[in-house]
């Protein structure tokens, strides 16, 4: 079994590669990644030692490059993690989100058709469903919830999902889609909430909380997401969408206070800042389908997962300090300087 993992130098893709190398040692894995600001070859340094793993630098939206790679390698399955993934960046510069997330997906779908790949899996997000009201805690996203996007990021991911489903219906391309809630864990880029809190708190810097901090996210430890994708890749039904989430809803301010308390840092670091434009209120996944069809259940509670994550950031300071001392400084100043 040879699989192509795109975007494997990023947060979830790299965790998926490590999960598969450990749990599916007979698989050959090729990682295709453009190494944007979010991709980091250091993250894959251990994987690169493994003879079952190979790294290729390239852009999923470069059709000629992708076609050549598919001719050389003969993939059985493709898992597409590659994306521009940060909502705030999509509000500043939507264009690259359309290019990578939509045109890149289209390029991979065409390559899968041409080279008769037996499964294309699109890694999507619960953000394609828009948001739920804060005062209706009885409501959850199911696979039947209509697509209703808020940000250029979520609109680009929804477009990719629609294209993927169109290739199933029109060309019988064997596809699956997963829509997961917010992940956290090792190798998470420090622009996202949890690693941003950890890295800033460790430096005794202010923690910017958007709006009133009462927006709700449904958090899942990244390894549980990786396990779900492996199950869908092997046993998921073609043409189907699977929601992934572990019923772990928390307000942002609760998450911030939990991390500060574990780190022994004062709540006086919390700084309320101007809200995100179009800020989704609440995400909450109903994972009943993947549970009943594939037997998936999350294994890591938020309490354990956040402890493990914080320990990882403490043990791997060099990984995130290299990032925040680089171009990231300009990013932070641009996004938060006048907020
Ligand atoms: P990330 O930003 O950490 O990593 C993205 C990776 O894709 C990087 O390595 C980057 O270099 C690579 N990449 C970007 N553009 C590329 C291109 N044109 N060609 C090849 N490689 C390219 O993202 P992540 O958080 O790991 O998310 C991975 C996937 O999971 C995305 O599709 C995202 O939409 C989805 N997702 C993320 C979450 C989350 O909480 N982070 C939740 C649900 C779904
Ligand atoms: P984020 O990690 O960007 O993920 P997403 O927008 O995909 O859910 O943000 C998680 C939540 O945290 C979201 O409600 C926005 C909020 N947030 C802050 O309050 N401050 C920050 O500095 C960031 C990055 C996010």
Which residue among 192, 269, 283, 336 is best mutated to probe the pocket of ligand 2, counting the most ligand atoms within 8 A of its Cβ? 192
How far apart CA 127 and CA 160 sit, in angstroms, is 13
> Ligand 1: distance of its center to the CA of 245 in Å?
18
> Ligand 2: distance of its center to the CA of 145 in Å?
23
DSSP code, position 50:
S
Residues 6+ apart with CB under 8 A from 233: 3, 77, 79, 119, 121, 176
What pTM, to 2 d.p., does this model score?
A: 0.99
Pocket of ligand 1 (CB under 6 A): 6-7, 9-13, 32-36, 38-39, 59-61, 81-85, 100, 104, 123, 125, 157, 180, 182-183, 189
Which residue among 11, 180, 191, 210 is best mutated to probe the pocket of ligand 2, counting the most ligand atoms within 8 A of its Cβ? 210
Q: Which member of 126, 131, 223, 224 is catalytic?
A: 126
Q: What is the mean pLDDT of the chain?
A: 98
Cβ atoms within 10 A of the Cβ of 319, count?
A: 16
Burial class (CB in 10 A: 0-12, 13-18, 19+), 143: middle
> Can you give the pLDDT at residue 207?
98
The domain locations on the chain are 2-187+220-247+280-299
> Can you give the pLDDT at residue 42?
98
CA distances from 214 to 217, 253, 280 (A): 10, 6, 11
How far apart CA 141 and CA 179 sit, in angstroms, is 10
Residues 6+ apart with CB under 8 A from 307: 262
pLDDT in tens, 78-117: 999 999 999 999 999 999 999 999 999 999 999 999 999 9
Our answer to whether residue 249 is catalytic in this structure is no
Q: How confident is the model at residue 321 (pLDDT cuts 50, 70, 90)?
A: very high
- Strand-pairing partners, residue 259, are none
- Strand-pairing partners, residue 270, are 207
How far apart CA 21 and CA 171 sit, in angstroms, is 32
> Ligand 1: distance of its center to the CA of 111 in Å?
20
Cβ atoms within 10 A of the Cβ of 137, count?
A: 12
How far apart CA 130 and CA 146 sit, in angstroms, is 9
Q: Whose CA is nearest to atom 23 of ligand 2?
A: 193
The pLDDT > 70 percentage for the chain reads: 100
Q: How confident is the model at residue 152 (pLDDT cuts 50, 70, 90)?
A: very high
Tally of CA atoms within 13 A in the half-sphere of 199 that contains its CB: 24
How far apart CA 60 and CA 6 sit, in angstroms, is 8
> Can you give the pLDDT at residue 302?
98
For the chain, the maximum distance between any two Cα atoms, rounded to a whole number of angstroms, is 57
In contact, 118 and 84? CB cutoff 8 Å: no
Question: Average pLDDT, stretch 53-72?
Answer: 98
Nearest ligand 1 atom to the CA of 99 is 18
- Nearest alpha carbon to residue 181 among 219, 134, 155: 219
> Can you give the pLDDT at residue 168?
98
CATH level 3 topology of 2-187+220-247+280-299: Rossmann fold (3.40.50)
Question: Average pLDDT, stretch 291-315?
Answer: 98
Question: Average pLDDT, stretch 168-184?
Answer: 98
Place of tokens 């840092």: 265
Structure tokens at 242: 């699977």
Q: Whose CA is nearest to atom 6 of ligand 2?
A: 87
How far apart CA 122 and CA 162 sit, in angstroms, is 11
Q: Whose CA is nearest to atom 19 of ligand 1?
A: 59
Alpha helices per DSSP H over 94-176: 95-97, 105-114, 152-171
Pocket of ligand 2 (CB under 6 A): 87, 182, 192-193, 196, 208-210, 215, 217, 252, 276
Cβ atoms within 10 A of the Cβ of 69, count?
A: 19
Q: Which member of 33, 59, 84, 127 is catalytic?
A: 127
In contact, 285 and 226? CB cutoff 8 Å: no
Nearest ligand 1 atom to the CA of 187 is 3
Our answer to whether residue 153 is catalytic in this structure is yes
**Ligand that comes closest to the CA of residue 183:** 1
> Can you give the pLDDT at residue 181?
98
> Can you give the pLDDT at residue 175?
99
Our answer to whether residue 127 is catalytic in this structure is yes
Q: Whose CA is nearest to atom 9 of ligand 2?
A: 193
> Can you give the pLDDT at residue 75?
98
């Amino acid at each position: 079994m040879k699989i192509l993992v795109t975007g494997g130098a990023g947060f979830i893709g790299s965790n998926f590669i490590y999960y598969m190398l450990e749990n599916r040692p007979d698989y050959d894995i090729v990682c295709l990644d453009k190494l944007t600001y979010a991709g980091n070859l250091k993250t894959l340094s251990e994987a690169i030692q493994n003879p079952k793993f190979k790294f290729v630098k390239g852009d999923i939206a470069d059709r000629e490059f992708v076609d050549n790679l598919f001719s050389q390698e003969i993939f059985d399955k493709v898992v597409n993690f590659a994306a521009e993934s940060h909502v705030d960046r999509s509000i500043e510069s939507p264009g690259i989100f359309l290019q990578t997330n939509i045109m890149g997906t289209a390029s991979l779908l065409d390559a899968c058709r041409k080279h008769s790949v037996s499964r294309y899996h699109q890694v999507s997000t619960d953000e394609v469903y828009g948001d739920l009201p804060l005062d209706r805690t009885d409501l959850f996203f199911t696979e039947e919830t209509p697509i209703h996007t808020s940000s250029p990021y979520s609109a680009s991911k929804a477009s990719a999902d629609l294209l993927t489903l169109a290739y199933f219906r029109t060309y019988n391309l064997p596809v699956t889609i997963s829509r997961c809630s917010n992940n956290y864990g090792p190798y998470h880029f420090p622009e996202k909430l949890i690693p941003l809190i950890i890295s800033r708190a460790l430096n005794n810097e202010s923690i910017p909380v958007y709006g009133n901090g009462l927006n709700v996210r449904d958090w899942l430890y990244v390894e549980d997401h990786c396990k779900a994708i492996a199950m869908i890749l092997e046993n998921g039904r073609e043409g189907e969408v699977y929601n992934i989430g572990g019923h772990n809803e928390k307000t942002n301010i609760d998450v911030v206070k939990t991390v500060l308390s574990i780190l022994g840092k004062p709540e006086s670091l919390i700084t309320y800042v101007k809200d995100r434009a179009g800020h989704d209120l609440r995400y909450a996944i109903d994972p009943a389908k993947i549970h009943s069809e594939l037997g998936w259940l999350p294994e890591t509670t938020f309490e354990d997962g956040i402890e493990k994550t914080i320990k990882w950031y403490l043990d791997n300071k060099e990984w995130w300090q290299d990032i925040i001392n680089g171009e990231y400084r300009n990013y932070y100043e641009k996004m938060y300087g006048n907020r």
